[in-house]
Structure 1
């Protein structure tokens, strides 16, 4: 297991349980206690968790880990979601793309397929696509979020009113039948909402850990979602409720 993947697993486990001991993490990751302690010390220095006597607890930044760690979580599932999502894009389409690890995988697939126009506020996606000759790239400016590599805020929202996309891929931190699409950050939620308002169709891409989950800031109701693509581990009852609300669901 790569070090970054190990760190992602630790953060995911601590987020789910609130606190965890070194011995439990050692068994989970199949590494020594000494390795776990070094990992916890490193993550504590980054303020991603709080080192405690014998283990770790949630850190001061809350539940949202930076993208560099989230990208290692559920990677096979995200790749499968990305392939199914990319198949929904017609040739020559104008595609809106918010940030997130699954959206990044979709962007890579679309760039390889080309030609495509991509409108994005994610600086990591823009950096990957800028040299692709079959990609027309539009980057939406704003205030940078270090957790997601996205540019958000009023500047981004205003810029998005000047564009129209055929389809927008929306990454979320939670989607449920009762509360629609949510994320951790209020500014990000408003910018994501501007993406949906500027698009003919919004496709939510969310791995199973996001299904049925609700976080701080509301992006949009289910009525604004044209399709949900998730993986086969998602809670079936919640998917049925989402489908009953009129959202087509693809589970891969």
Structure 2
């Protein structure tokens, strides 16, 4: 099991249970208690979990948290959204993937399906894809954001300007007809905008809690999006307005 996978399993278990001890996690992951302690210390340093004597508990919620923490939220919805997105992506395509837990799920499914090229700025997605020999992986460089594990800024945007992707899969913190696609950080928004520009088709993947929501920095107007894939938990009025802006909307059932 890769270190990132181990971290994800720890976070999922602790968030689901509210807390866990070292022995419990050691048995769950089939690794030594010493390894678990090192993992818990790392996750505590990243403000993902709060380490306690003999274990860890779920920490406070933040608007932006590392992908390993967010992976446990609305996981079933995100998987269903990712499955619907993959159905829209041609086999062998060149795919741009921004950071995000739903886009990471898209990456996993694409890698399992077979040969293709993926361009990403997300370190967790890159780490996930490296072992897949049938994936031609391009990672654009830039300034690393510790909160989201994405490489952003002018260097990333310059690299993206040299590429053309068949499909861009965009993760967002908010999407609405009035404000378009938004995220929390200005640099991240600018880099994601470069992904949108490089893509022939733009798919936005967002769970229902993000529909009708606007956050600080604008990525692009709703009219730049070809397809929004979300779940049935999205607010109907927000979806109708997005569809009226010319975006094709797909909603998947809430598992």
Q: Structure 1 length as normaliser, TM-score?
A: 0.78
1:63 corresponds to which residue? 63
Asked whether the equivalents of residues 7 and 69 of structure 1 are also in contact (C-alpha less than 8 Å), the reply is no
| 1:236 is aligned to 2:223 | no
- Residue of structure 2 equivalent to 1:225: 225
1:201 aligns with 2:201: yes
Q: Give the SS at the match of 1:213.
A: coil
Q: Which runs of 5+ in 2 are unaligned?
A: 1-8, 20-42, 50-58
Alpha-carbon distance in structure 2 between the residues aligned to 1:6 and 1:239 = 33
- Please state how far the C-alpha of 1:4 moved relative to its aligned partner: 2.4
Distance 1:48 1:139 in 2: 25
1:4 alignment partner, one of 11, 17, 42: 11
1:172 matches 2:179: no
Tell me the equivalent position of 1:117: 117
The answer as to whether partners of 2:98 and 2:170 remain within 8 angstroms in 1 is yes
Maintained 8 Å contact 2:67/2:124: no
Is 1:87 equivalent to 2:94 in the alignment? no
Question: Hey, what's the Cα distance between the residues in 2 that align with 1:140 and 1:8?
Answer: 32
Would the alpha carbon gap of residues 191 and 233 (structure 1) be closer, same or farther in structure 2, given more than 3 Å must change? same
Report SS of the residue matched to 2:200. Answer: coil
1:137 aligns to what SS in structure 2? strand
Partners in 1 of 2:74 and 2:145 — Cα distance? 23
Distance 1:80 1:66, change over 3 A: same
Moved over 2 A (4+): 2-9, 43-49
Query: Match of 2:39?
Result: none
**2 CA distance for matches of 1:165 and 1:146?**
26
| CA–CA separation in structure 1 for the residues paired with 2:46 and 2:251 | 35
Structure 1 gaps, min length 5: 10-28, 32-42, 50-56
Shift of 1:46: 5.7
Q: Structure 1 232/108 Cα, relative in aligned 2: closer, same or farther at 3 Å?
A: same
Q: Report the aligned-residue RMSD.
A: 2.6
Structure 2 distance, partners of 1:69, 1:48, is: 6
Alignment pair present for 1:133 and 2:133:
yes
CA contact (8 A) 2:48 2:69 kept: no
Cross-structure match for 1:248: 248
From the superposition, tell whether residues 209 and 148 of structure 1 become closer, same or farther in structure 2 (CA, over 3 Å).
same
Q: How many residues align?
A: 216
Q: Report the Cα distance in structure 1 between the residues aligned to 2:65 and 2:11, rounded to whole angstroms.
A: 12
TM-score by length of 2: 0.77
Per the alignment, residue 101 of structure 1 pairs with 101
Q: CA deviation at 1:131?
A: 2.1
User: How many Å apart are 1:5 and its aligned residue?
Assistant: 3.8
Inter-CA distance 118–104: structure 2 relative to 1 (3 Å threshold): same
Please show how residues 29-68 of structure 1 align to structure 2 within 5 Å.
63-68=63-68
Counterparts in 2 of 1:70 and 1:248: CA distance versus 1, 3 Å = same
Compared with structure 1, are the counterparts of its residues 48 and 136 closer, same or farther at alpha carbon in structure 2 (3 Å cutoff)? closer
Q: Secondary structure at the match of 2:204?
A: strand
